[in-house]
Amino acid sequence: MPPGGGAIRVLNVAEKPSVAKSVAEILSRGGMQSRAGRSRYNRVFEFNYAIGAQACHMLVTSVTGHLMELDFDDRYRRWYSCDPAELFHAPVRKAVPQDKQDIKRTLEEEARTCQWLVLWLDCDREGENIAYEVVDICAGANRNLNIWRARFSALIPREIHEAVQHLARPNKLFADAVDARQEIDLRIGASFTRFQTMLLKDAFVLDVSGEERNMVLSYGPCQFPTLGFIVERFWEIQAHEPEEFWTINCSHTSDEGTASFIWIRGHLFDYSSAVVIYEMCVHEPMATVQNVRNQEKLKYPPYPLSTVELQKRASRCCRMSSEHTMKVAEELYQGGFISYPRTETDSFSPNTDLHAIVREQVDHPDWGTYAQRLLNPEERLWRNPSNGGHDDKAHPPIHPTKFSTGENNWSPDHKKVYELVVRHFLACCSQPAVGAETTVEVDIAGEQFNASGRVVLAKNYLDVYRYDSWGGSLLPTYTIGQQFVPTSLTLDSGVTRPPPLLAEADLLSCMDKAGIGTDATMHEHIKKLLDRCYATKDANSRFSPTNLGEALVMGYDEMGYELWKPYLRAMMEADMKSVSVGTKSKAQVLEGCLQQMKACFLDARANKVKLLDAMGTFFARSNRPINETQNTIEVVRPCGACNDSEMLLKRRPNGGFMVGCRGFPQCRNVVWLPGSLAEAAVTQQICPTCIPGPVYKIQFKFNRRDIPPSFDVDHLGCIGGCDDVLKELTEMSRFQHHNQTTMPARSQSQTQTTSTSGVRQGAPRQDLPTGSRSTGQFANQHTPAVNPQGRGQSQTPSGVGVRQGTPRQDLHTVFRTASQFANEQQTPGVNPQGFRSTHTGLTQNSRNASSSGQVLCTTCGEACINRTANTEANRGRKFYKCQNPGCGFFVWEDELDNVAPRGRGRGSRGGGRQASASAGRRGGGRGRRGRGNADAEGMTFVSATGDTVHGCCFTCGDPSHFANACPNR
């Protein structure tokens, strides 16, 4: 259809295909033409129309909900690509997914030929956000578009024509509020979900869904507080202790009926007191009427219907879940039978023609008669609806928009929801029910009892609103001063009962009051709990937590965090509202919220043992080996061995680091990293030389005590082969490990697992290139404490004592080893010899060594103090000891010249480190039960003060510890 003369082309975009069709049918009055778009589900309708005095050629098409998705960049999208903590600041982008590219192309093609863009999206924050997604696409194709917003609440001619003739501009603040919420939910949800799943899924047997290997332990900022309400009520029930009580019941029967009187005390928990009072009443049973009150009571109709109230009442009255209720209501809205079902408003505008809405229902066979009475002034039944006090400024309360006695394609649930909406609307336009209530108070032996009765004088709105009831027993006539003897007077017992499980309506009320979610999303959070097997719902729509749901809440509760409480999310929702009204910016809300939640995440991860303990309360530990899902794993480079997977940075069970193929065990390509590493994290920097790429550089942090002083602790390196620093440290670690490793005789299968270089035999290994430097050269340059034969002090037992007869030139190695052992064990108050530090038998020498002959500690370089031994075996013998209590360096003065050089030198310090590491890890292998180290047999160990040490490790022969604390067990 060609446009009329002088007409402008107007592109109209609705949120769903059905809405686009309804808008086109209403505006064209059926005279439209239809053609296919790029997407077969989103057709384009064309017709001529006039907006004000402007002739228009209208093109109406649609999207299907959100056109774009917010997600992380590809670098962070995979679960094991980064530390979950990085997701709080990782780059995100909003883009059109592949399955909606056809819709995007339709919008771009149509926008290029149009002058106006009219947005027919739902008139709430979410709809406004989708509107700006459409604007981004269309304005990208045509920057000269004049952009307008149509605001409507029902797909009926009156609303649609009114909307197109009073176009407005879209609200950017509403869109910003949704953008902020989406980004917050994405970052928090992804980080905690990855953390929980990687930590717990393989650690426990969690066969709760039948697909254990594929299950996701999700966390959502709204989902978890919703689960918290369920768990908290469940804990209240579990903590309830039944307690027996006693109460006195009284009844009186006359010709007019029976009145049941209730004891004003309610009940007593003390049996003796209850018996005493009861016997008083039995002894003087005459009841005297002290007061009779007759008063009119009103029962008011409900407020106009909001989304949350619709879900609550459908749950109570129709036994429908909130999720199903919203699905049915959405279908009724798209059919034009009810107004927009997502609204917080519970008060009608004064401009709404309520009589016209009632008039459309007068022909209904069930409630048509009541609608006629409501419109009849003589009935005096009409009452303007009460104001519930909530107005979202977008949509009116939910009300009927079209008459129907039931369509052919309606299910019974469609009829139930439509009937609920109509009856609720008629009820809120009606007078309240009127009743007469009588209260009688009597006295029996000084104890007060009362009885109440009610009679309904005018039902009014109760005639149509069958979901409410109001009544009571009719009391006999009593007058003040009247006396009678009760027909029965009994002492009854009962037991206190716990509160019931949360019903769905109650759960929705909790969420609504706490500000958890929006009216349009509450049902989604509830459904998510059921889908994730965090909670179950019984036939009465009451919720119970599963073991999994309870364990997760318990774990965070034990940490002291209230992540399962509604407070944090309520604050977030309040911030979103502030963005939507312009009192806070999107950037402010994002920065504050994400900073707070990242701190919670880091603390939670540091206290993950409590989450593990909570899970262990409900689930058995898995016998599966620790795999990559339980460690921080980051992609470093493509695998050059299998060319089918990626090399990942992994933390090994022993605390070390490696870069291995994701395809293990099919591909065994691995790069072993230095054992001196303390921390490692993949960065976004790519090595410009190494191939195949990209090869991401790694930020390394080394243990200072395990590397020579000439090397920096922090190093940004590459594992591709171009990094000379990493080559040297790796070779140093390998050589050191070669000289430290002794393997006892094992079974053949065990012997094959590890070689002297620490690499699995038979497994391909990708070593860092070492250049032309040989192992011997490396050892000669960097480990002066190792002898020329390439061996460390193999005769020196690990630990703490000094073997009598040991060559003096090796003593400083032994003492360095002792101090290292003390530092590694970090046992306060214990010296390197393994004995608790006291000053008994020692006298402080009044002098230190002179400045020219000062003795320096070979471990930390500090000046030593001179002391004199006062033990029986070495009385008067002088020795030097480091001033640092945690160091433990020791040397006899008469052996000083042969033990260590005076002064502070890089070579001796570095050599001390290398030799001590070698000596400290030797001393025998595992499994040699019944005797200590072979080298220690027949030898005597002495402490630093010369006393003989009795007893040693049963496993390795080290006198510094016993077998139960042996590091070589």
The count of other CB atoms within 10 Å of the CB of residue 515 is: 19
Give 362-365's long-range contacts (Cβ < 8 A, gap of 24+): 363/403, 364/403, 364/405, 364/422, 365/405
The count of other CB atoms within 10 Å of the CB of residue 115 is: 16
Mean pLDDT of 473-489: 91
Contact 549, 223 (CB under 8 A): no
pLDDT of residue 769: 40
Q: What angle do CA 408, 409, 411 make, to 5 degrees?
A: 105
Q: Radius of gyration over alpha carbons of the chain, in Å?
A: 41
Give the type of residue at 702. Answer: F
pLDDT of residue 762: 37
Per-residue model confidence as pLDDT tens digits over 39-78: 988 999 999 999 998 999 999 999 998 999 999 988 888 8
Q: What angle do CA 314, 318, 321 make, to 5 degrees?
A: 60
Query: pLDDT at residue 743 above 90?
Result: no
Contact 267, 247 (CB under 8 A): yes
pLDDT of residue 969: 55
Segment of 251-255, 651-655, 883-887 carrying the highest mean pLDDT: 251-255
For the chain, count helices (H), then strands (E): 25, 31
If pLDDT is split at 50, 70 and 90, which confidence band does 927 have? very low
Residue closest to 675 by CA, chosen among 391, 851, 918, 490: 918
pLDDT of residue 102: 95
pLDDT of residue 952: 54
If pLDDT is split at 50, 70 and 90, which confidence band does 490 have? very high
What beta strand segments (E) does 883-930 contain? 890-892
Residue closest to 734 by CA, chosen among 722, 744, 726, 746: 726
Q: Which entry of 340, 370, 478, 556 is annotated as an active-site residue?
A: 340
How far, in Å, CA of 921 to CA of 919, rounded?
5
- For 554-604, the three-class secondary structure string (H helix, E strand, C coil) is HHHHHHCCCCCCCHHHHHHHHHHHHHHHCCCCHHHHHHHHHHHHHHHHHHH
Mean pLDDT of 461-487: 91
When comparing pLDDT for 722 and 855, which is higher? 722
How far, in Å, CA of 815 to CA of 794, rounded?
15
How far, in Å, CA of 857 to CA of 862, rounded?
5
Give the type of residue at 892. Answer: W
Average pLDDT taken over every residue of the chain: 79
If pLDDT is split at 50, 70 and 90, which confidence band does 883 have? confident
Helix (H) or strand (E) holding 139: helix 125-141
Residue 41 DSSP code:
T
How far, in Å, CA of 782 to CA of 317, rounded?
82
Query: pLDDT at residue 601 above 70?
Result: yes
Residues 6 or more apart from 311 whose CB is under 8 A from it? 322, 325, 326, 504, 505, 508, 522, 523
Mean pLDDT of 436-445: 95
If pLDDT is split at 50, 70 and 90, which confidence band does 707 have? confident
How far, in Å, CA of 865 to CA of 909, rounded?
19
Least confident of 348-357, 634-643, 864-873, 933-942: 933-942
Residues 6 or more apart from 95 whose CB is under 8 A from it? 68, 69, 71
Contact 444, 250 (CB under 8 A): yes
pLDDT of residue 638: 85
How far, in Å, CA of 873 to CA of 946, rounded?
7
Give the type of residue at 215. Answer: M
What is the chain's percent helix, strand, coil content, to nearest 5?
35, 20, 45
Helix (H) or strand (E) holding 882: strand 878-882
Q: Output phi, psi for 699, to 5 deg.
A: -85, 110
- For 764-828, the three-class secondary structure string (H helix, E strand, C coil) is CCCCCCCCCCCHHHHHHHHCCCCCCCCCCCCCCCCCCCEECCCCHHHHHHHHHHHHHHHHHHCCC
DSSP annotation string for 629-642: GGS--EEEEE-TTT
When comparing pLDDT for 223 and 922, which is higher? 223
If pLDDT is split at 50, 70 and 90, which confidence band does 828 have? very low
Mean pLDDT of 796-809: 35
* Tokens found for residue 918: 């070698």
Query: pLDDT at residue 470 above 60?
Result: yes
Least confident of 183-192, 438-447, 839-848: 839-848
Reduce the DSSP state of residue 204 to 3 states and report it. Answer: strand
The count of other CB atoms within 10 Å of the CB of residue 803 is: 16
Least confident of 13-27, 128-142, 458-472, 776-790: 776-790
How far, in Å, CA of 792 to CA of 205, rounded?
47
How far CA 133 is from CA of 121, 323, 578, in Å, comes to: 11, 26, 22
Look at phi and psi of residue 445 and say left if phi exceeds 0, alpha if psi is from -120 to 50, else beta: left
Contact 47, 28 (CB under 8 A): yes
How far, in Å, CA of 253 to CA of 111, rounded?
82
Strand-pairing partners, residue 567, are none
If pLDDT is split at 50, 70 and 90, which confidence band does 763 have? very low
Per-residue model confidence as pLDDT tens digits over 165-185: 999 999 999 999 999 999 999
The edge-to-edge listing of strands for the beta sheet with 44-51 is 33-35, 44-51, 54-62, 8-14, 116-120, 146-149
pLDDT of residue 96: 94
696 catalytic residue (yes or no): no
DSSP annotation string for 423-435: HHHHHHTBPPEEE
How many residues make up the chain in this entry?
969
pLDDT of residue 955: 58
Residues 6 or more apart from 759 whose CB is under 8 A from it? 672, 765
How far, in Å, CA of 917 to CA of 798, rounded?
10
When comparing pLDDT for 667 and 311, which is higher? 311
Q: Output phi, psi for 726, to 5 deg.
A: -65, -35
Mean pLDDT of 365-392: 92
Tell me whether strands 8-14 and 116-120 are parallel, antiparallel or unpaired. Answer: parallel
How far CA 211 is from CA of 197, 208, 227, 293, 443, in Å, comes to: 14, 8, 22, 65, 67
Residue closest to 952 by CA, chosen among 938, 963, 939: 963
CA 181 to chain centre: 15
pLDDT of residue 668: 83
